[in-house]
Structure 1
Amino acid sequence: MLRFDEKEKNNINFRIISIFLASISVMIWGFRVFYMSTEFPWMAIVSVLIILMSVASIAIIVLRHTKACWIETIEWGLLVCSLIGFGVWTYIQILNNPSYGTDELAFDQYAFYLVMHHINPYISSMKPAFEMYHVSPIGYTFTYSGTPVTTLSYPALSFLLYAPLWVVGIHVQNAVWTNVLFWAISMVMVFIVLKKNYRILAIVLFSWSFYVGFMEGGITDALMIPFLILTAFGWDRFAKEFKRTWWVPISFGLAMSIKQTPWFIAPFLVISLYIECQKLGYSRNKSIKILLLYIVLAFISFIVPNIVFIFLNPAAWIRGILTPLFSNIVPSGQGIVAFSVFNHFGGGNLSLLSYGSLLIYLGLLVVYTLHYPKFKPWTFFIPSILFLFTTRSFASYFADLLPVVLVSLFNYHPTQPTELSKKTIRLIRRISVYSIMPGCILVILAFRLTGPLHIQIDNIHTTGQYATIDSVTLNVQNDSSHKVTPHFTMDTGGQYTTFWNIVSGDQTILPYHTEKIVLQAPNVESMPPITGGFQVVGFTEHPYSVSPSKSYHPALWHVILTPEAIDRQITLGKKVVLIAKVVNRVNQPIKISNIPVYLGQVIYGQSGLEFAQTKINHGAIGQTPIKALTNSQGEAIFNIDSAVASKDPVYYEANLINSKSFYPYGYSNTVSILFK
């Protein structure tokens, strides 16, 4: 029997647990792929092989085959299976939904299209990208005035990286496949650069569902991740081995040339490099020279992909890459701004939140400098704390940096604490307090100033059986001392729709005045379903503010028809009893009598809708809908018979009617009956 010392035994146990978790992640890939096997039978083979590989990996570690060669083979096998699963799953998603999920992805793809036609994308409107790549209106980015952003908002490498796949002939969904390719490259890179005891964690981390959703759904962060991984792998060796690690600042510069997120990491890396130089005993001049070398290499690698566009129109290029930072884009995301958007805390002047987040960021930079050795492993994570306080704070801003943080945590070299004089420590602490405290005060003040509007949903109009809301009547009160001109949109599931049109009422509301405003949906995609809650959100400029209404739930009850299926043919003249049960949103019975329930009948013929000829309760033949009242158990009884046979089944569906606005809601399951 092999004998291990305690440390080696712990390492093996950790690798075994990691392999188990990775095997489960790979098995889930197999399950994801399987559901398209009917349409593509070869996917069943891929699915089963992936599942067998994961089961075999678990079996091997259960049998305690802990030799290095076994573990090495399992880890590489799981990595390959994970990559295959990811690729096949992406193929399935593209087939099911070939549209681009965000304007971000569509703009980058369209920018590359313009470049291929010798047009500068930074001076061109990106509006044609919406139609060209079939972006849903809920994927637009809007300003406070309700207009979508139509300018290219990222540095040039964000779309120039589409060229390799374009050259090899992948033109359809090029942007998505490029995202997937770079995410796969990132997974392999993390797997390779992590120490052997931890590298299997790459499979677990990169297989998380929200990650793969980001990659397929339209988040271009995947393009910068490989470059940031290279940066994190050698970032703290540049001071000592700058001649051998010249690629570190170059990779970081390329990452900055894809998206703005790495820009906020740059000051932390510069401070870290200078401290590392001082730790090595370099003189101040030599430390500055190494620092300048890093900055110059990073700057050159940032500029090179953009140089043509800078030369063509520097003002347009600068305006484009600064759009996400300085344009009046509406607040959204999972940071503290959600308190204003959803919970009515603050929202009166969101500029205060922006200024406060900037001061907090500066304070974090100072604290990082003061406690550098302790915070060194978190160099690539601490800057992302900024996005908790900004008005745009999406989950991708935090989560997409986690692979980079993982590489940094397991590859950095510990640094001895800095011995600073008491005077220097006091000065740094004072600076941090003077930046963080005002920042926190501004954030608190931002939540003390409430939005200028009090929005109350007075009535809604629905599309009937289509079960969406196409018009809303509001009572909007201006609580401020100045007149405002708000723009309104709907928030459903944390996403804004296209801003709605005002068809009645004055858009400009006088101070302390209440206006009745009727909004109409601009398109089908912007209509919230009556089966879920929504809220109306009003935005105003000067200052930038947000005022949400209370969450509105148009339908909390619905109907269940039983039996849920009638599998046999019904003989003419024989009655069928359908029971319509009124239930709440978790299907608990509503035992209230005299609730009107309406049952409709129709035939869905191959050539279109046809009138059904059955008799429901005491109604006439073919009459639809028929009303019945619930009994004390909350059940409405419908007796159905037919004297006419039909070649197609008759479909029955029940619903409720709102007693105030008279819109139908709470549609039941559909039951089909074939009379012979």
Structure 2
Amino acid sequence: MTLDTPVATADAPADPSESATTATRVAWTVVGFALLSTGVNNWGAWSTWPGFAVVSPCLTLAGAVVMALAWTAPARRWATFESVVFVASLVAVVAVNAPLLAASAHFSTDAAAFNQRAAVLALHGVDPYRVAFHGTGVQLDPAADYWTYTLNGGHVDHLSYPAGSFLFVVPFVALGLTHLTTDWVDLAAWLVSAVALYLLSPRRVRWLAPLLVLATMFTPLFTFGDTDALYVPFLILAAWHRERFVDETAPRIVRWLAPLALGVACAIKQTPWFTVPFFTMGVGYAAAGARRRVGPVVARYLGLVAAPFVVLNLPYALWDPRAWLRGVLLPLRAPLVPDGQGLVSLVTHGVVHVLHPGDLQLAGAVLVALLVVAYLGWPDRLERAWLFVLPLVLFVPSRSLSTYLVDFTPAAMAGVLSGAAAPVGPRLPGRVARPVLALGAFAAAALVVVAFTASPLGVRVDRVVATDHAQFLGPVTLTLANAGATPLHVHVIAEVGSGHPVGFWRPRTGGGVVPAHSVERFTFVPPRFLLAPRRGESWLMEVMSASPALVVTTPTLAWRRGPRIGRAAPLR
């Protein structure tokens, strides 16, 4: 279809090819709008880097031009148009984020800082899994703003990811790139992901790659601290035409690409581990469809997945098995403070006031098992959809960070667009799968309900002190009533706005222990200067215990101090 083609009317319906072409032009118009928005959104960043005074209007103009060309570019130039716009999108991402990253002096997450420190240690022949990372040894300022806190009043101070998380950073550190190396590598990995998705996508949907790379959700995360970016390109390759592993006529590199890429992704972080059972089931069904023995094919696939994981991690596993295992399994076993944008936000934002984290973890495990059962029962529906469904499962546990919910999206798109054949072979009968799913769903729902009920600890706010003209939070006095039969050693943090908690408050007197069947009154002191909410904003205090694992919050408190916004001060 060209622009000369008559537009469909109610009397003359469009044919499907014309609709597809029109839809493609609409999609590239949205890409242009995203490019324009990138320029407009960074208009005020010139004070950070004067170059934005030129970059911002150039990107704004480029976006407007793309929107116009999306409807005026002739069909014979369409491939060139797509390629030029995609390259412009990559340039925009670099032009906007590289100056901001270059101007940054510190990391934005402890994960990025730990990976860089681990790379430096590995380069000097030191086992990073045996070293405790303190604020003075990592590029965090102040470190307390970025720690991952634990229910026992501490924070994660050891490397907690597989070795691939820092080994990919080592070559760049060795070459002398020491300024926030992890963040630069993550930004590069995200750009590689976009290129991979663009090249692997059918031409009719190549607009997807520039749209994702310009999406405000992904690029800021992957540039400033989200180390998941490093595994995303490998997970894209793992999802793309994964069924080719059973095609004996394909070159070996094509057949082995997906499992090897999956193994590398698993060697970088733990999140891709959850995808292994589903990729494996897909390969099993592909083997059945090709009339090959499923067992040997699946075993060979898993062997190739394990190979890069073993190559990258074995030296450290042998160096100090206990330290390596402690680090790699830490996110799965440590009593981490609940956090994230999933169900747990009902507690951290004061909708409900109690959480038993272990019950949410168990509910999440049940849902993973149910997704496996559903895949076995209806593989034709879930073969292409399970990477979109898995984030729904990760929405439930007590650590449900936004990255867990969005980072599978590029790989999910690659899997869908590769056009894998519908699975064939034996599947779990519906008369078995449906009752199992029903019972499992009931069990998961019951666990979620239990997780948010029956608190043994009552909390009351007695007194709040503000300092420096109500700009900072001061000591807070709480009355804690323990109705349980177990003494509770409590730790307290404040939830103010959307910021990360800045550390545990210390009791002014006593050790913060509430004996069984007793009531205690404590005054807790903030760890340092903590900005108070603005007048009218809500905040709350979280009281937590590691044994038993428990989080209880105060009712949501409205800050009534400080100047009234929008009201002029009286003349004197």
TM-score of the aligned structures, taking structure 2 as reference length = 0.91
Alignment partner, residue 106 of structure 2: 99
Question: Is the deviation greater in 545-554 or in 241-250?
Answer: 241-250
- How far does residue 561 in structure 1 lie from its aligned partner after superposition? 8.1
Give runs of aligned pairs for residues 84-163 of structure 1, distance below 5 A: 84-128=91-135, 131-163=138-170
Give RMSD over aligned pairs: 2.4
- Contact kept, 8 Å, 1:341 with 1:347, in 2: the verdict is no
Distance, in Å, in 2 between the alignment partners of 1:436 and 1:272 is 23
| In 1, Cα distance between equivalents of 2:320 and 2:57 | 54
Which residue of 388, 405, 409 corresponds with 1:402?
409
Greater RCO between the two (CA within 8 Å, min separation 6)? Answer: 2
Answer whether contact 2:234 2:262 (CA < 8 A) is retained. Answer: yes
- What are the superposed Cα offsets for residues 556-583 of structure 1, whole Å, 9 maximum, x if unpaired? 6734688xxxxxxxxxxxxxxxx63xxx
> What does 1:86-485 align with in structure 2 at a 5 Å threshold?
86-128=93-135, 131-241=138-248, 243=252, 244-282=254-292, 286-343=293-350, 345=352, 347=354, 349-415=356-422, 424-450=429-455, 452-465=456-469, 467-485=471-489
Name the structure 2 match of 1:67.
75
The one-letter code sitting in structure 2 at the alignment partner of 1:490 is A
Moved more, 526-535 or 328-337: 526-535
- SS across alignment from 2:347: helix
Counterpart amino acid of residue 511 in structure 1 = A
Q: What's the counterpart of residue 558 of structure 1?
A: 563
Q: Which residue of 2 aligns with 1:11?
A: 20
Q: Is the 8 A contact 1:341 1:547 kept in 2?
A: no
Cα pair 1:254 1:302 within 8 Å, conserved: yes
How big is each residue's C-alpha offset from its partner over 1:119-151, in whole Å with a ceiling of 9 and x where there is no partner?
A: 000111122566544354121111111101111
Mean alpha-carbon deviation: is it higher for 500-509 or for 364-373?
A: 500-509
**Match of residue 492, structure 2, among 488, 499, 503:** 488
Distance 1:557 1:522 in 2: 21
**More strand per residue:** 1
Corresponding residue for residue 538 of structure 2:
533
Q: Which has the higher helix share?
A: 2
The 8 Å contact of residues 107 and 129 in structure 1, kept in 2 or not, is answered as no
Amino acid at match of 1:14: A
TM-fit CA distance, 1:312: 0.6
By how many angstroms is 1:427 displaced?
3.1
CA 1:250/1:121 → structure 2, altered by over 3 Å: closer, same or farther?
same
Residue 85 of structure 2 corresponds to 78
Q: For residue 31 of structure 1, what is the aligned residue in structure 2?
A: 40
Contact 2:86–2:210 (CA<8 Å) still a contact in 1? yes
- Give a deviation string over 1:596-646, Cα, whole Å, max 9, x none: xxxxxxxxxxxxxxxxxxxxxxxxxxxxxxxxxxxxxxxx4x24xxxxxxx
Normalising by the residue count of structure 1, what TM-score does the alignment of the two structures yield? 0.78
CA shift for structure 1 position 511: 3.4
Equivalent-residue separation in structure 1 for 2:566 and 2:308 (angstroms): 65
1:483 is displaced (CA, Å) by 2.4
The 1:459–1:375 alpha-carbon spacing in structure 2 relative to 1, beyond 3 Å, is same
Separation in structure 1 between the aligned mates of residue 260 and residue 142 of structure 2, nearest angstrom = 34
Find the counterpart in structure 2 of residue 20 from structure 1. Answer: 29
Q: CA deviation at 1:434?
A: 4.7
> Aligned partners of 2:93 and 2:483: how far apart in 1?
52
Indicate conservation of the 8 Å contact 2:286/2:423, yes or no: no
Q: Is the 8 A contact 2:482 2:519 kept in 1?
A: yes
Residue deviations 1:436-455, cap 9 Å, x none? 433332222222333x2222
Contact 1:533 1:553 in 2 (8 A): yes
Residue 349 of structure 1 deviates from its aligned partner by 3.0
Shift of 1:257: 0.4
**Contact persistence 1:269–1:379 (CA under 8 A):** no
Q: Which amino acid aligns with 1:72?
A: A
Q: Deviations over 1:516-544 (max 9, x none)?
A: 211111122x4444544321101112220
Match of 1:656 in 2: none
Task: Determine the C-alpha separation between the residues in 1 that align with 2:48 and 2:145.
Answer: 30
CA positional deviation for 1:20? 0.6
1:543 pairs with one of 548, 551, 563 = 548
| Bigger Cα displacement from structure 2, 541-550 vs 438-447 | 438-447
Contact 2:135 2:143 in 1 (8 A): no
Give the CA deviation at 1:169.
3.4
Counterparts of residues 473-622 of structure 1 (less than 5 Å): 473-494=477-498, 495-504=500-509, 507-524=512-529, 526-529=530-533, 531=535, 532-555=537-560, 558-559=563-564, 580=569
Per the TM alignment, residue 350 of structure 1 is displaced from its structure 2 partner at its CA by: 2.3
SS state at 2:485 partner: coil
Structure 1: 5+ residue stretches without partners: 563-578, 581-635, 640-676
Report the Cα distance in structure 1 between the residues aligned to 2:157 and 2:400, rounded to whole angstroms.
Answer: 20
Deviation at 1:361, TM superposition (A): 1.1
Corresponding residue SS for 1:206: helix
TM superposition shift of 1:506: 6.0
The answer as to whether partners of 2:507 and 2:525 remain within 8 angstroms in 1 is yes
Aligned equivalents of 2:286, 2:111: Cα separation in 1: 38
Deviations 1:382-438 (A, max 9, x none): 3332211211001110111111111112113231565658xx443344444454433
Between the aligned partners of 2:180 and 2:518, the Cα distance in structure 1 is: 50
2:417 maps to amino acid: F
Q: Any idea what the Cα deviations from partners look like across 1:325-344, whole Å, max 9, x if unmatched? A: 01111111112122233346
What is the CA–CA distance in structure 2 between the aligned matches of 1:222 and 1:490, rounded to whole Å? 30
Ranges in structure 2 where 5+ consecutive residues have no aligned partner: 7-13
